A and B are shown apart, each in its own frame.
Chain A
Amino acid sequence: MSGSRAPDALWFPGASLGVVMLVTTAFLAVGQFATREQIAQAQSDDTRLQLEQILPAGYADNNLLTDTLQLAGPDGAPLTVHRARKQGVLRALLFEMSGYGYGGRIVLLMAVDVDGRIVGVRVTKHNETPGLGDKIEVARHDWIRFFDGKSLQQPAPARWAVKKDGGDFDQFAGATITPRAVVATVKKGLEFLAAHRPELTAEASGEAVPVSGEKP
């Protein structure tokens, strides 16, 4: 290297490397400490926004992040169900459901009202092909809104499939596996909810009083 040189002493390279490591680590520790709360806050804001965006304005007035229930999901893993209430009355249940598409796991956030009708579905994580399968994102295409208002009765269970398979839902040109996976996952979510209806509604009526009581 040209220019003024670093000291020639034998100990210098090792020591300087050590100092750089220490200083960088210190900076990272300070940075992590300074940003930790902000990041946690931003992430819980994200979750809350996701939960709220899926519901029509004024649909619920409770804190969706804290009003939750833990159940065993269809795959056995614990599943958090958020409950949307208006003036203490249970209106809808929100939960995540995942399935496997063309590029891996697709995570959906579903909101279903107490009568089993879908209020909204959004894809929160996926790895589908850009330009083809990613039309399941609401930012890129309206396709996902077609689920609004659907239930296990409407359409009939046999029609819960993409059109190519004789169902009611559009597939995308060049991408059938992705919409097929989403349709199956939404159906799985509805079935999960139907199977747990007794405990979810019982729990809801049992807790309606304390929840409204804890409001300021």
Chain B
Amino acid sequence: MSDSPSAKTVARDGLWDNNAVLGQMLGLCPAMAVTSSATNGLGMGLATMVVLVMSNALISSLRHWVSDEVRIPVFIVLIAGMVTLVDMCLNAWFHDLYKVLGIFIALIVVNCAVLGRAEAFASRQSAALSAFDGLATGLGFTLALTVMGALREITGAGTLFANAHLLLGPHFAFLETKVLPADSGALFMILPPGGFLALGLLIAGRRWLQRRADRRAAALTGAQAAH
């Protein structure tokens, strides 16, 4: 067993340092396709998170029986099979939820962040830690998509979390807010070009925060060394 990272590192990596969308640039296709609203971003993020936890746990528990040569096709088959099963079960027994999440679930198969975590983490670490990594990565993915959806929705449609009640139930209707007067948004932000623009802005924003934090850390160690 190689040295395993601490749970704290795993959480930090998944949420920020190595954020799937903003750090590793993985899963950009679903990130841009569904984030026309914050609600959609949240729905896609949560569905992906559930799949990540399950696929990481499954692949980690099978890691000793999968040889290097065929690991990628094996992971793909396992992930695609699992997502399809989840899709069918939701459709059959949780049909109302399926009607809301249905469009997202099939898209998860093509999310390379899921395969990325299987390859980079779950194939080397214990099942429990891998499941936790899936949770952290999934939360980071959800965070990135929700922020991206919020940015596009506010600038494009002037609303925030519009129709959240369709995804989360009537109790969450309070999330729905109007930020700008109706129809004053810049339409292109919710069209595909806005996806690229919002993604670029968010990646740049994260880099800027990261650099600032790095500079401060460097200044701090420099000051300590001077003493």
Contact = CB atoms under 8 A, between A and B. Distances in A.
Interface in A95-139: 129-132, 139
Contact of B66 (A6, A14, A39, A140): A6
Contacts of A35: 88-89, 91-93
Interface residues of B, number: 43
A38 B88 CA distance: 10
A16 B88 contact: no
A16 B1 CA distance: 22
Interface in B66-119: 66-71, 73-74, 77-78, 81, 84-85, 88-89, 91-93, 95, 99
B159 interface: yes
A16 B74 contact: yes
Interface residues of A, number: 36
Q: Identify whether the interface residues of A are mostly helix, strand, loop, or mixed.
A: helix
- Best-buried of B1, B68, B77, B81 by chain A (most CB within 10 Å): B81
A166 to B, nearest CB: 22
Interface of B is mostly: helix
A13 B69 contact: yes
A145 B6 CA distance: 57
Interface of B: 1-2, 36-37, 40, 63-71, 73-74, 77-78, 81, 84-85, 88-89, 91-93, 95, 99, 123-124, 153, 156-157, 159, 162-163, 166, 182-183, 185, 187, 190-191
Given A3-B1, A24-B81, 13 more contacts: A1-B123, A2-B124, A3-B63, A3-B124, A12-B67, A20-B74, A24-B78, A28-B84, A28-B85, A31-B88, A32-B88, A39-B88, A130-B40
7 contacts: A1-B68, A3-B64, A17-B73, A35-B89, A39-B88, A42-B95, A132-B157
